């Protein structure tokens, strides 16, 4: 009974931190463990969630998975041959000891970056976690496992297919904002000077932004579900 009670307290305390963002001290007052114990509990719960659910919820996509995702982007957001929306979220943290300016970002806060690829229904396909806040999204992507796999063509990406209503074949692509480079399988919008007097490019940017917003919306949903994203994390990176 004692071990069962401890298991319940451990699980509830860990999930409460993720759901509410309450401090370790506040959670300790509620369930009576010490501050350092709550810290260990949260880490244990997070590790258990990752070990038990990661492969189920974020499996490595197959070629059929990519085709299904692309079909959803076309059906829901009217953007063809799209494999996912890519973006980075700065998770605000308390200044780490002796970290200098490594975690200091352009928003004038200290953060680590959650880089994510999201499908048309706001599900996370893959994530890269823990990069310094000072790094750009494009730089983080280039050094991530996803970026290297895309560069080496190791992602099971389908061969180019014809665009809807045309005979012109086009690559399957990931869409991102201006922070990312233009590559055969990575698409970004035209810059403001390029699209200023070109209606076709303006329409393209509008269509791309509809697909790209999936990543921004997914981050908003994530922060609403797990309130600790809305507070400054006081744990070590």
pLDDT in tens, 83-126: 999 999 999 999 888 888 999 999 999 999 999 999 999 999 99
Q: Note the pLDDT of residue 1.
A: 42
Tens digits of residue pLDDT in 49-84: 999 999 899 999 999 999 999 999 999 999 999 999
Q: Is residue 192 classed exposed, middle or buried when 0-12, 13-18 and 19+ CB atoms within 10 A define those classes? A: exposed
Whole-prediction pTM: 0.88
Taking the C-alpha atoms of residue 145 and residue 116, their distance in angstroms, rounded to an integer, is 12
Average pLDDT for 199-216: 94
Do residues 175 and 82 touch, judged by C-beta distance below 8 A? yes
Q: Note the pLDDT of residue 39.
A: 87
- The secondary element (H helix, E strand) that includes residue 125 is strand 124-132
The residue ranking higher by pLDDT, 38 or 86, is 86
**Quick one: pLDDT band at residue 3, thresholds 50, 70, 90?**
low
On the question of pLDDT at 159 being above 60, the answer is yes
């Amino acid at each position: 009974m004692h071990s069962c009670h401890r298991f319940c307290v451990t699980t509830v305390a860990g999930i409460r931190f993720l759901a509410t963002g309450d401090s370790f001290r506040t959670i300790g007052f509620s369930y009576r463990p010490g501050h350092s114990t709550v810290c260990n509990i949260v880490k244990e719960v997070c590790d258990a969630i990752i070990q038990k659910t990661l492969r189920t919820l974020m499996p490595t996509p197959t070629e059929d998975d990519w085709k299904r995702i692309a079909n959803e982007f076309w059906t829901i957001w009217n953007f063809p041959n799209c494999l996912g929306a890519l973006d980075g979220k700065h998770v605000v943290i308390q200044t780490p000891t002796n970290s200098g300016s490594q975690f200091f970002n352009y928003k004038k806060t200290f953060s680590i970056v959650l880089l994510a690829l999201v499908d048309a229904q706001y599900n996370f396909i893959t994530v890269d976690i823990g990069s310094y806040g000072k790094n750009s999204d494009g730089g983080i992507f280039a050094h991530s496992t996803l970026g290297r796999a895309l560069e080496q063509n190791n992602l099971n990406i389908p061969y180019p297919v014809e665009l809807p209503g045309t005979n012109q074949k086009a690559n399957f692509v990931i869409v991102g904002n201006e922070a990312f480079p233009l590559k055969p399988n990575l698409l970004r919008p035209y810059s403001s000077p390029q699209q200023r007097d070109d209606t076709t490019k303006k329409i393209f940017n509008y269509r791309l932004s509809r697909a790209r917003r999936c990543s921004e919306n997914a981050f908003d949903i994530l922060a609403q579900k797990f309130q600790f994203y809305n507070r400054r994390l006081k744990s070590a990176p």
